[in-house]
Structure 1
């Protein structure tokens, strides 16, 4: 009997309804199946990701803490099997986000107003912390020293101080983790929530690399403007704009690290983030 058969036999022995599992495509971190009105996620062990955690305990805690808000799927069970964590939550009939960036901004604004729950680490906060994180990422890019040196020379100028008051952030609000259904949006894949700078979530959603990877196209200027206009706290928007060069610099480093896996979209993402970094250095005259 192979691993999958043993795994689902174990779930059924616990009285869980996981009949006829159908694998989902597209996940980059874990294995996921649909079983009727349920989703089963099996967490895989990977090399440490320098930007996106894969923490099953945080996902369980997030689904429990945010139950009833409409922002998360319903938690139905969790456990371990042969050294792997697993999670079951309610299936949502919908599709990954494609349009109406303002709706995403409103959802993130609601999320950032939610209270803290236990088990959350503190996120990267301020330009000095972002710079230190980029150095950690670039130290892992051992196969392309020339582009590492190029990125090190592109370090943004200036300093943006850390926030004194943190907010609950999703940590990975990319289009593939936003399900559109019944006129609303639900966030999935809660493996890396943090108490952090809310502008981090704005940067991750607006990232051209993440948009190409999960939606197939970068956001238009109109979509970016609509997103920033719809986010409910202009102070967070202003902070995002101040940190924008650092966010693009970090994502370029992350895409360079991902390039070692040979995915051409990571190479495209690297180039898009460099181009966006150039644009972000142009003063805003609006």
Structure 2
């Protein structure tokens, strides 16, 4: 079966433009290579693409409920309807992580303001979605969440990641000054709680003006070869993803409409198939070849 990582879809998905898109820069690249106007496409023009791209990688639908029902955001169902292109965005970012990993200084610690509800996920030993942190200090601009914690990411050699300011030029990425480091989903990690400083408690506030509920050190370990773990047929997963995408898109729209009575088990099951497929794809990219 041909891997999606071997195909080309929309021009925006190619190379570093998938990374730019994930980071909120929706400008289309002109034929001369320079940045042009912002995309008007319902998917590729979404300046908050990371919200939906990440939500689809979390187990269950609690992340969607947090973003939509508690924080007042809307997630974009076009990412589900165009799932072939969405998967191309995921795989191209992960491919870039492998290609450009040598551009990183391991002495740098990444900092992140995260939802307090995310800690349970990290305690399970894995990143569930893409994990973005910054080489800058903690910033309240990223604390507009419902209950926050501070995280220091201790990065180790031989893991997938991207250092934005080593990969992108300042004139081709509108958020270059944020100095981001991006870790992949499904990465094996360890987490330990550490003390908050007085200044961190005083300066960083959540959307309700409350201080952080805690602080944690996250240590990266390795990216597992999920081909050794998952027994699902990749071909079968792909067919289930395609067959169920319209129903999943409609259920995400129900969440956007604040429908709290709806049964979302079908949506959750569809996401599980997507996540399993991506774990296999990422493993193929990182380790090369076919294990099975």
TM-score by length of 2: 0.27
TM-score, length basis structure 1 = 0.27
